[in-house]
A = this chain, B = another copy of it.
Amino acid sequence: MKTKITLIGSGNVAHNLGLALLKAECEIVEVWSRTITNAKILADKLEANYTDNLANLNKNSDLYIIATTDNAIAKTAAKLDLGAKLIVHTSGSVEINVLEKASSNFGSFYPLQTFTKSHLTDFSSLPICIEGSTSANLNLLQELAGKLTNRVVELTSEQRQKLHLSAVFVSNFANYMQVIGEELCREQQVDFGLLKPLIEEVFEKNKHQKAIDNQTGPALRGDTFTMNKHLELLSDNKEWRELYQMISGMIQNSKSINQ
């Protein structure tokens, strides 16, 4: 029998997850959104009903997935009236306990990726991190996640939160290093594309080894001559200068720890 699922939310995660679940032969029963037109748009794609009334959701689903923004999860859960139905959220940073007042059966279903509506994500090799308030819940989530991907991992809330924080560093913050790089090139009318082979080299090496063993550059070498040149070049940008000093200091410290 098809697993029946209600999606609470209509944003990027709900959108991508809903379509992936539909493709995996699940039945999407209902889509909820605060904004009824958004609920309808997603529901139409998922062949589902839709509503903007949280207290009155269809009670026939096997699983209720809260895919709202992180700060809305607790208050959304507080408005649910679903008895002992299994409720999960899709957040990386919120502990599952915020759901315990809404039901005795709760958990997390966290697909580790950045989602947009415009570019549909392939779930087949995506990690999905699960957590359940009971082993029966965990088993059900394991089975469902297994229909989407071959990388299902059980993590505690604490592990998942650190993983999510780690994701901010390796994706958002690493991306911002490129933003700075682009701006420095733009200031001098230098083609940023010149840096792409270098970026590729670092990226490729890190596929096969730890980043700590792939650290290079003036800070790691303790090359104060070059670092001072760089600080001079950043003299008109106090923030980037501070950032340069801060990260260089950390790299120098990590070297002494690593040796």
Contacting pair A233 B179 (CB below 8 A): no
A178 within 8 A of B: yes
Contacting pair B163 A211 (CB below 8 A): no
Q: Could you say which residues of chain B place their CB within 8 Å of the CB of A176?
A: 211, 215, 247, 250-251, 254
Counting every copy of the chain, the complex holds 2
| Chain A 50-75 residues near chain B, CB threshold 8 A | 69-71
Give CA–CA (A10, B167) in the complex, Å. Answer: 39
A140 within 8 A of B: no
Distance in angstroms from A232 CB to nearest chain B CB is 9
Q: Could you say which residues of chain B place their CB within 8 Å of the CB of A126?
A: 197
| Chain A 170-227 residues near chain B, CB threshold 8 A | 170-182, 184-185, 187-192, 194-199, 201-203, 206-207, 210-212, 214-220, 223, 225-226
Give CA–CA (A42, B113) in the complex, Å. Answer: 46
* Contact A112:B243 (CB < 8 A) given known A153-B191, A168-B230, A215-B175: no
* Contact-residue size bin, chain A (C-beta under 8 Å from the other chain): 35 or more
A256 within 8 A of B: no
Give CA–CA (A164, B169) in the complex, Å. Answer: 23
Closest to A121 in B: B201
* Contact A202:B166 (CB < 8 A) given known A197-B125, A207-B196: no
Q: Could you say which residues of chain B place their CB within 8 Å of the CB of A196?
A: 207
